[in-house]
Amino acid sequence: MKTKTDNTHHHTSANIRLAFFLNLFFSAIELVGGLLTNSVAILSDALHDFGDSFSLALAWYFQKVSKRKRDAKYSYGYRRFSLLGAMINSVVLLIGSFFVISESIQRLISPQAANAKGMLLLAIFGILVNGWAMWRMRRSSSLNERAVGLHLLEDVLGWAAVLIGSIVMIFVDVPILDPLLSLLIACYILLNIYRNLRDTLRVVLQGTPSNVNMEAIEACLQSMAGIKSVHDMHIWSMDGEYNIMSVHLVLDKNLDYKKWQELKMQIKEKLKAQQIQHITIESETDDDACDYKTEEPQS
Comparing C-alpha atoms, which of 110, 13, 112 is closest to residue 59? 13
Domain containing residue 253: CATH number: 3.30.70.1350
Mark whether 62 and 180 lie in a shared domain: yes
Q: Please identify, among 204, 238, 253, the residue that sits at the C-terminal boundary of a domain.
A: 204
| Cα separation, 126 vs 121, whole angstroms | 9
Residues with Cβ within 8 Å of residue 195, at least 6 apart in sequence: none
Domain containing residue 111: CATH number: 1.20.1510.10
Q: What is the pLDDT of residue 45?
A: 65
Mark whether 199 and 275 lie in a shared domain: no
Q: Name the domain count of the chain.
A: 2
Mark whether 10 and 56 lie in a shared domain: yes
The H or E element containing residue 281 is strand 278-284
Residues with Cβ within 8 Å of residue 93, at least 6 apart in sequence: 52, 55, 147, 150, 151, 154, 189, 193
- Helix axis angle for 177-204 and 143-171, nearest 10°, is 170
Q: Please identify, among 175, 204, 233, the residue that sits at the C-terminal boundary of a domain.
A: 204
> Could you give phi then psi for residue 160, rounded to 5 degrees?
-65, -40
Mark whether 15 and 101 lie in a shared domain: yes
| Cα separation, 260 vs 244, whole angstroms | 21
Q: What is the pLDDT of residue 48?
A: 62
Sheet order of strands, 227-237 included? 227-237, 243-251, 278-284
Q: Please identify, among 174, 204, 234, the residue that sits at the C-terminal boundary of a domain.
A: 204
| Cα separation, 78 vs 85, whole angstroms | 13
Q: What is the pLDDT of residue 81?
A: 83
Q: What is the pLDDT of residue 1?
A: 44
Q: How far is CA 13 from CA 70, 106, 126, 137, in A?
A: 19, 38, 23, 11
Mark whether 181 and 79 lie in a shared domain: yes
Question: 91-136: per-residue pLDDT in tens?
Answer: 877 887 887 788 788 878 887 766 778 778 878 887 887 787 777 7
Position 297 in a domain: no
Helices (H) and strands (E) counted in the chain, each on its own, are 8, 3
| Cα separation, 10 vs 12, whole angstroms | 5
Q: What is the pLDDT of residue 196?
A: 81
> At residue 42, what is the residue type?
I
pLDDT in tens, the chain (299 residues): 444 444 454 455 677 777 778 778 877 887 887 777 776 666 666 766 676 677 677 777 877 787 888 888 888 788 888 788 778 878 877 887 887 788 788 878 887 766 778 778 878 887 887 787 777 766 655 666 677 777 677 778 777 877 887 888 888 877 777 778 778 878 877 887 888 888 888 888 889 888 888 898 999 898 888 888 898 899 999 888 889 999 999 888 888 888 888 999 999 888 888 889 889 888 888 776 666 665 555 54
Mark whether 190 and 269 lie in a shared domain: no
Domain assignment of residue 274, given as a range = 214-284
Cβ–Cβ < 8 Å for 283, 260: yes
Q: What is the pLDDT of residue 291?
A: 66
Q: What is the pLDDT of residue 245?
A: 92
